[in-house]
Amino acid sequence: MRDVHLTPAGRERLVFLLLRVLALIAALVLAGLLPSLAHAQEVANWAGVWDTKWRGGGAQIKFEQNGAEVKGVYPLYNGRIEARAEGGTLEGRWFEGNRQGEFSFVQSPDGASFMGRFESATAEWWTGVRVSAVDNIGVDQASPMTTMRSFLQTMNESGADNVPRATGGGMGLAALAAGLIDVSEADRGGLNMPDYTKLLFSVVDKATFRLWSLPHDAIAADEVTARLQQYGTSVSFDVTFRRKNGAWFIVGPPLVALQAKLAEFQAARGEAVDMVDDPSKLASPRDTFKMLLGGISEVGDPAEAALDLRDYNPAVRADEAILLERYLKKVIDRIGYVYWQEIPDDPKSNTPYVYFEHPSGNVVVGPVDTGKGKVWQFTPETLANIRTLYADVEDVPVAPEFAAFASGDPFFATRGFAREISPALLTRAGPIERWQWLALGLTALAGIAFGFVASAVIGLVAGARGDAERSTFLRVVAWAVRAIVLGLFLLFALRPLGLPQVIAAPVKAVAWSLIVIGFVPVVWHLIGSLAGHYRKMWQVPGYHDTLISLSTGVARVAVLVVAFLLLAEVLAIPYEGVIAGLGIGGLAVALAAQPTLQNFLSGLTLYADRPVSVGDFCKFGDQSGTIEHIGMRSTRIRSLDRTIISVPNSDFAGMQIENYAHRDRTRFATTLQLRYETTPDQLRYTLAELRKLLIAHPRVIEDPCRVRFVGFGPYSLDVDISTYIMTSDASEFLAIREDILLSIINIMDEAGAQFAFPAQLEYSAADLPIDEDKRVAAEKRVSDWREAENLPFPDFSQLDRFALNNTLAYPPQGSAHYRETEPDPQSAEARATLEKVRWSLPWRKGT
C-alpha cells in the first residue's frame, strides 16, 4: 500500500472536520440526555390524600404542596408534616405533640404509592397509597341519632369489624369516627385515639338497636343518655351524648369501664375474651348480611353460602346463586344503608329475622340445620319472591350511599335496555318475562345459524385441500359441530339472560346434552384416525397391531362411558346403582386372578408414571432406601442397613413415595422456645438478628425465608424459623444447618435470651450450677484450635480425618476380644502410629 502524505493545510482541514463531527455527536447526545435529566429533576406531585401504614399503626395524611415545599396533617394522631420534595423523594420531619423525628419517602414511578422510613436508627418503615377523599360518607352531628349513625357508618365502612366495605380511605374513615368522640386523655388511660375508637366501636357493635330509637327530636338538655341492649341477653350499655357548640358528640367512658363492659357483653354470650369473630360461620343474621354484602368467605362462593338453595337443582345452583345474590343486593340497595348493629347477632336465637316487608315478598333470614350445625341463610321464600319484589321496587332510587357505586351488571343492563325499547317486554309470560323468551329464541336461532356456518367453512377448507379422509371426517361430524355450537350458545346465554330455575335447568340440560352428543362422534373418529395413522406409519407385527386395536377399543368404550356419565349427571339420572350392579358380575373372576393381575398392572403403572427410577433414594411407608430394580412383580430396594427389601408392585404403587433424588433444595425448619422472662425488646432483637442471619447466609434461599414469633407455648415463647438450604446433599445440609444453629446460639447469647425449660420443672440459677473450670477449659481448647487455624467446622480437614481413621480401639479396652486385636506396643508399626497420632492432632498436644 502507498503511503499517504498530507500537507499542513490538509492536516488542519482534517482536524477541523473531526472537531465538527465530535461537536455534532456531543450535541446529539446532550439533546437526548437533557430531557431525561430534566425529567429526573422534576418534582413529584405529593398533593392529595394518602392512606399510610407503619409498624403497629397507620393514618390518613393530607398533603398540600407549593413547589418543593410540602406540608401535611394526619388528625388521627394530631400530627403534622413539614418536608421538601426533590425529584421523587420527600424528606422532612413529623410532629406529634412533643414527639418528632425525621423521615424519608420515595414515590413510585406511577405516583400511586410511596415507600419510606423514619427513625433511621431502628429502620422503621412507613408506606402509603394515594386515595380519593372519602366524599360518600357524610358526618351529621345534628342529633344523637345522626351522630351515632355517622359513627357506625364510618367504622363499618373502614372494616373495623374485619368486613371492609369501602373502596379505599379506611384510615380516613377511622379518623372521621374518632372526631365524633368526646373523651379526655385521662379517661383514655394512655390508649391512643385510634385504639380507643375501635374499642368503643367493639362495645357498641355487641349491642343490637334501631337508630330511630335514639334521641333525635328537639332536646333541651346538653347531655342525654340512651340504652343499647344486647340481643337475647339482659346486658345493656348506656351511651351518653353531649352537645358542644351545637354539635352532638359521643361521650367516651373511662377505659377501665369500657373494657369491663366489653367483657360483660362477651361473658353474656359465652364468648372467650380473646375470641375473633368469624362471620363466615353464619352464626347469626348479622353474619349472613356481612357474608352477602361484604363477600367474606374462605371456602366457596359467598353468595351460595348465604342463600338457602336446598330446593334448587344442583345443575343450576351455582348460576342461580349468583343471580339471586344480584337481585338481593339490588333490592337492599333500594331499602337503604345496612347498619350491622340493627341486625340481631344472637347465635342462640331460632326466630327468623324479617329485614324488609313488602306485598310482593319479604326479605327474611332464618336458621337452617345442617350436618355441621346451625347456620343462618336467606330463606327459600325470600329467594322465590325476589324477582317479583325487584320488579316492584325497581323504580325506587338506590340509597345515596350507593349511588356512586352503582354497577352496570350485564343482566340488569340488558333488562334496562329491553325496558327502554318497550316497557311491555318486562311483562311476565309464565315463569319469565317476555324479553327473556325473545332473547332465548334469538340465541337458539343464532346458535343454529353459526353451527351451519362453522360446518360450511370447515367443509370448504377441507374440500379445497382435496383430502378425502378429511372430507369423510366432515361428513361424519357435520351435524355434531352444529350441535356443539348450538349447545355453547345456549350455555353462554344462561347467566346474561338471568333465567330462573324452572327454565334454566332444562335449557342447561339440553345445552350440555348437545355438546356431549356432538363430541362423541368427533372423538370417536379422531381415535380411529390416529390408530390408522400409526398402522400406516410402521410395518408393525401382529401383536403390535393387536395392542393398537385393543387400545382403540378401550379408548372408544371409555368415550362412551364418559359421555353416558356426563349425560346422567346433567339430566340428574341416578346411575350409581347401575354401575354397582354391573360390577358384581365380574367380581368373582377378578378375585381369582387379583394378586397376579394387580402386581402386573401396578408394574405397568410404575413404568408409565415413573414416580421413582433405578438409583433414586426414596422413602416408602416408614422405610427408606435406594431403588435397585423395578420388575413386573416386585420392586427391590437397598435399605440403609444395606439389606434388600422386596415389595410387591401393588403394595409399592399404593404407598406414599417420597423421592429424594429430585429434591432441588433442603428444608430447614426449627422452633426456638424462649423463656417467658424474655422481654419484648429482647424478643424483637432476637427476631431481627435471626432474619439478618438467614438473609446474609450465602447458602440460604431468599424466599421463602421466615422468622416469626408464632405464639405462646405451654412454657415458652415460640419462634418459628423456616427456610430452604441451597443443597440437595444430606451431608452438606447437616454442615450448613450446624453452622446456622451455632450462629443462632451466638445471637441468643448476644440478646441475653435463654431457652425455655418444660413448665413442670421449677429451677433457679443455684439449681443448675455451671462447672466453671470445665467451661474455661473447654473454651480454652476451642480458642487454641482457632489460633492454630484448625477449627473443625463445618467439618474436619482431610489430614485430621486421616489421622483419626481407625485410632479408636474396637473392641474397647477391657473386653475379652481387645487382647486378641491389641498390637504389640514394642513393634515399629505401633510406635509409628502412636507418634503420628500424637503430633497430627493439635487438640491432643501436651497430653
The three-state secondary structure class of 433 is: strand
Average pLDDT over residues 26-43: 50
Question: What number of other Cβ atoms are within 10 A of residue 593's Cβ?
Answer: 10
Q: In sequence order, what are the beta bridge partners of 673?
A: 718
Higher pLDDT, 768 or 798: 798
- The pLDDT of residue 471 is 60
Residue 480's H or E segment, with its range, is helix 468-497
Phi and psi at 79, nearest 5°, equal -110, 160
The answer to whether 277 and 162 are in contact (CB under 8 A) is yes
Residue 146 confidence (pLDDT) above 60: yes
What is the SS3 string spanning 719-786?
EEEEEEECCCCHHHHHHHHHHHHHHHHHHHHHHCCCECCCCCCCCCCCCCCCCHHHHHHHHHHHHHHH
Average pLDDT over residues 539-559: 60
Give the C-alpha separation, 103 to 91, whole Å.
Answer: 6
**404-452 pLDDT, tens per residue?**
444 556 677 677 677 777 777 777 677 777 777 888 888 888 888 887 8
The answer to whether 343 and 286 are in contact (CB under 8 A) is yes
CA distances from 257 to 205, 206, 209, 581 (A): 16, 15, 21, 70
Residue 263 confidence (pLDDT) above 70: yes
Average pLDDT over residues 31-58: 67
Of the listed ranges 23-37, 602-616, 620-634, 796-810, the one predicted with least confidence: 23-37
Of the listed ranges 297-301, 341-345, 734-738, the one predicted with least confidence: 297-301
- The pLDDT of residue 405 is 47
Highest mean pLDDT among 491-505, 647-661, 754-768: 647-661
C-alpha cell at 227: 340504652
Average pLDDT over residues 809-826: 55
Q: What is the pTM assigned to this prediction?
A: 0.46
Residue 234 confidence (pLDDT) above 80: yes
Which CATH number does 594-658 carry? Answer: 2.30.30.60
pLDDT above 90 coverage of the chain, percent: 10
Higher pLDDT, 406 or 191: 191
Average pLDDT over residues 466-482: 65
274 CB-near residues (< 8 Å, 6+ apart): none
- The pLDDT of residue 662 is 79
Residue 295 confidence class, pLDDT cut points 50, 70, 90: low
What is the SS3 string spanning 556-577?
HHHHHHHHHHHHHHHCCCCCHH
Average pLDDT over residues 198-217: 89
**685-699 pLDDT, tens per residue?**
888 788 878 888 888
- The pLDDT of residue 81 is 93
Average pLDDT over residues 246-255: 91
Question: What number of other Cβ atoms are within 10 A of residue 688's Cβ?
Answer: 15
Average pLDDT over residues 48-56: 79
- The pLDDT of residue 251 is 93
Residue 241 confidence class, pLDDT cut points 50, 70, 90: very high
Residue 484 confidence (pLDDT) above 60: yes
Residue 622 confidence (pLDDT) above 80: yes
Residue 230 confidence (pLDDT) above 50: yes
**502-537 pLDDT, tens per residue?**
777 788 788 888 888 888 888 887 887 777 777 676
C-alpha cell at 663: 429434591
Residue 108 confidence (pLDDT) above 50: yes
Residue 547 confidence (pLDDT) above 60: no
273: Cα separation from own chain's centroid: 28
Of the listed ranges 364-378, 730-744, 769-783, the one predicted with least confidence: 769-783
Higher pLDDT, 823 or 321: 321
**373-393 pLDDT, tens per residue?**
888 989 989 888 888 888 778
- The pLDDT of residue 710 is 92
Rounded (5°) CA angle 682-688-694: 135
Q: Indicate the residue type of 788.
A: A
- The pLDDT of residue 249 is 93
Choices 3.30.70.100, 3.40.47.10, 3.40.50.720, 3.40.718.10: CATH for 666-769: 3.30.70.100
Average pLDDT over residues 542-561: 64
Higher pLDDT, 245 or 16: 245
Higher pLDDT, 19 or 61: 61
- The pLDDT of residue 732 is 86
- The pLDDT of residue 720 is 93
185 CB-near residues (< 8 Å, 6+ apart): none
Average pLDDT over residues 144-160: 85
Higher pLDDT, 701 or 829: 701
Say how many Å lie between the first and final Cα of the chain, rounded: 84
Of the listed ranges 169-183, 460-474, 482-496, 620-634, the one predicted with least confidence: 460-474
Give the C-alpha separation, 604 to 696, whole Å.
Answer: 48
Q: Across 331-423, where does the E strand assignment appear?
A: 353-356, 363-370, 373-378
Higher pLDDT, 158 or 143: 143
CB-neighbour burial class of residue 720 (10 A; exposed 0-12, middle 13-18, buried 19+): middle
Give the C-alpha separation, 200 to 178, whole Å.
Answer: 10
Higher pLDDT, 648 or 591: 648
Phi and psi at 663, nearest 5°, equal -75, 130
175-205 CB burial, b ≥16 within 10 A, e <16:
bbbbbbbbbeeebbeebebbebbbbbbbbbb
Q: Residue ranges of the domains in the chain?
A: 48-131, 144-277, 280-407, 433-571, 594-658, 666-769, 775-844
- Mean pLDDT rounded to a whole number for the chain: 75
- The pLDDT of residue 721 is 93
